[in-house]
Structure 1
C-alpha cells in the first residue's frame, strides 16, 4: 500500500479561488459561441449526443468502478480515477475535434449538454461508484462528503460561466468571435501552469509514483476513448460524428476534478496525482489522435458535416 500522505494537496483559500476562476474561465471561453441551436440540435439529431452522453455518464464511470475494483487499484488512486470518469468532457475537446476532421457541431452540442448534466451527474456518479467500489467506500466514509456542497461547487464553476458566456456571446457576437480561441488557449495554459506548480511542490512524490500512476492514467484514457468509439460504432454513426464522440469521452474536465479534490479531499495525495497526470496525458493522447485523423481522407459527406461547426 503506497503512502500518499507526503503529497501536498492542501491549498490555501486564495489558491483554491484561483483554480476555480481558471475552471470557470475555461467554460466561459467555450460557451462564448454556444447558441440555443446547439441545444436544439441535440433534440433534432439525438443519436450522436445520446451515444456520447451514455458513454460519458453511464459506461465510463461504471467500467472504471468495476475495473479498479477487480484490479485491486489502491483506494486513493481508484477514487481519483472514479472522480475523473465522473467529470464531463473537457473544454479543449472541441478544438481537437476540429483538428481531427470530426463533427464540430456534435462536439459543441455534447460539451454544452454534458456541462449542464454534470451539475447532477458528476456528484451522483462519484458518490455512487465511490461507494459501490469496496476499496474506495471506507475512504468516502472517512471524508463524509456533503453532496449538496459538491453540487453547489459544480454549478458555480460549470453552469454559471456557461450561461454567462452564452449571454455575452449573444449580445456581443463580434467580441465572442475574437475572444473565443484566445480564451481557450490562455485558460488552458494557465491551468497547465497551475498543475505544474502543484507538481513542483511534490517533486519527490512525482518521481516516486510517476511510473505506477502514468500507466494507470494511460490505460484509463485508452478505455475512455475506446468506450466513446465503440458507442458510436454500435449506433452506426457516420465517421465524423463517431470521432467527435470518441474525443468528447476521452478528453475529461480534469480541472473540475482537481477543484473537487482540493476542496473536499485535502489529504488525498493519490487522487491529486491521478487528476494531475490526466491533465497532461489526455491532451497528448487527444492531439496525437487528432493529428492521425487529420491525415486520413474522409468521404465528401463526412467532411461537409465537419465544416458546419463553429
Structure 2
C-alpha cells in the first residue's frame, strides 16, 4: 500500500453532505409513482438487464480488475465502493438528452435506489473481502454492514418515500420545483466536492496521477457493461441508451456520505469517489450529446409511445 492519505473534513461538513444527499433524493423522488415500480414487473427484461449489470457485473468486474492490477488498497476500495452504489439521479436527465427510454430510466433509478439499501453495503463488504489486497485494509477500518445499511436507509430510502408521498399529495409542487431542485442539487453537490478538494489541494495534486485514469477506466467499463449487456439481450436502442446511462452514472454522493461517516481517514477512497462525481457527468453528457445526434430506429418502442401508443406493446 502506498501510504494512507488523511483528509481535512469536519462534523459540520458531514451533516451538510447528508442533508444535500437526502435533498437530492427527495427532489428526484417527487416525480416517482408506484407505476414506475409496476412497470418493471410488467416489462422486466430491460430493467433486469440494467440492474444485473449494475449490481453484479460492475462490482465483480471492479473487484477482479483491482485484484489483477494490484491497485493500492485504499484506491481499490474507493472503486469498489462506487461500484456498489446505485445509479445516480442525473442518469434520467442524460437518458432524456440521449433520446433514450426515459420511463425505463426512472423505473431503474427507483428500483436500484431501493435495492441499494441492502446491496450497497453487501457488495462493498463482499468484494472488498474477496480482493486479497483490500481484505486486510477492510478489516482495519472495521466495517459494520449494519451501520452502513442504517445510513443508506436514512439518506436514500427514507427521502425517496417522503418525496413520493409529497409528490402524490401535492402534484402542483412537482411541476414547479422538480427542475429547480435538480439544478440546485447539482450545483450544491459540485460545489461541495470542489470545497472538499480545495481543503485538500496538496493531497489532490500529489495523488492525481494515481486516481485519474482509474476513475476514467472504471467509468468506461461501467458504460461498456451497460451497453454490452443491453445489446447482447437484444434490447431496443432507446432501452440500450437508458441502461448504459443507468450503469455508467453512479450515485457517488451516496459513496461520499458512507465514506465520510465511516472512513474519514481513507483519503484515497475519497479521491476516487469525489472525482467520480465530477467525471461521470463529463462522460455522461458527452455520450448523451453523441446519441442526441443519432436518431432512433423508426420502429423503436419509445417512438411508438411518443405517438400515443402503449410502450412495449
TM range (shorter): over 0.9
2:253 corresponds to 1:255: yes
Unaligned stretches of 5+ in structure 2?
A: none
Aligned to 2:65: 67
Equivalent in 232, 235, 256 of residue 234 of structure 1: 232
1:305 Cα deviation after fit: 5.9
Partners of 1:208 and 1:152 lie apart in 2 by 34
Task: Report if aligned partners of 1:221, 1:282 keep a CA contact under 8 Å in 2.
Answer: yes
Task: Report if aligned partners of 2:51, 2:112 keep a CA contact under 8 Å in 1.
Answer: yes
Equivalent in 274, 277, 297 of residue 275 of structure 2: 277
SS of 2:16's equivalent in the other structure is helix
Structure 1, residues 242-285: CA drift from partner, whole Å, max 9, x if none? 11000000000000001111011111000000001101000000
Aligned to 1:291: 289
1:105 Cα deviation after fit: 0.7
1:143 Cα deviation after fit: 1.3
TM-score (norm 1): 0.96
Aligned to 1:47: 45
Aligned to 2:262: 264
Aligned 1:119-138 pairs, distance under 5 A: 119-138=117-136
Partners of 2:295 and 2:305 lie apart in 1 by 13
RMSD: 1.4
**Number of positions where the alignment pairs a residue of Structure 1 with one of Structure 2:** 307
TM-score (norm 2): 0.95
1:304 Cα deviation after fit: 1.6
1:300 Cα deviation after fit: 3.1
Unaligned stretches of 5+ in structure 1?
A: none
Partners of 1:258 and 1:107 lie apart in 2 by 23
1:301 Cα deviation after fit: 3.5
Equivalent in 135, 157, 160 of residue 159 of structure 1: 157
Aligned to 1:2: 2
Partners of 1:221 and 1:106 lie apart in 2 by 21
Equivalent in 79, 83, 88 of residue 85 of structure 1: 83
Structure 1, residues 174-195: CA drift from partner, whole Å, max 9, x if none? 1111111111111111011010
Structure 1, residues 160-181: CA drift from partner, whole Å, max 9, x if none? 0100010010011111111111
Structure 1, residues 95-139: CA drift from partner, whole Å, max 9, x if none? 000000000011000000000000000000000000000011111
Equivalent in 136, 139, 157 of residue 137 of structure 2: 139
Partners of 1:102 and 1:62 lie apart in 2 by 26
Structure 1, residues 29-78: CA drift from partner, whole Å, max 9, x if none? 11111011100000000011000100010000001001100001000000
1:13 Cα deviation after fit: 2.3
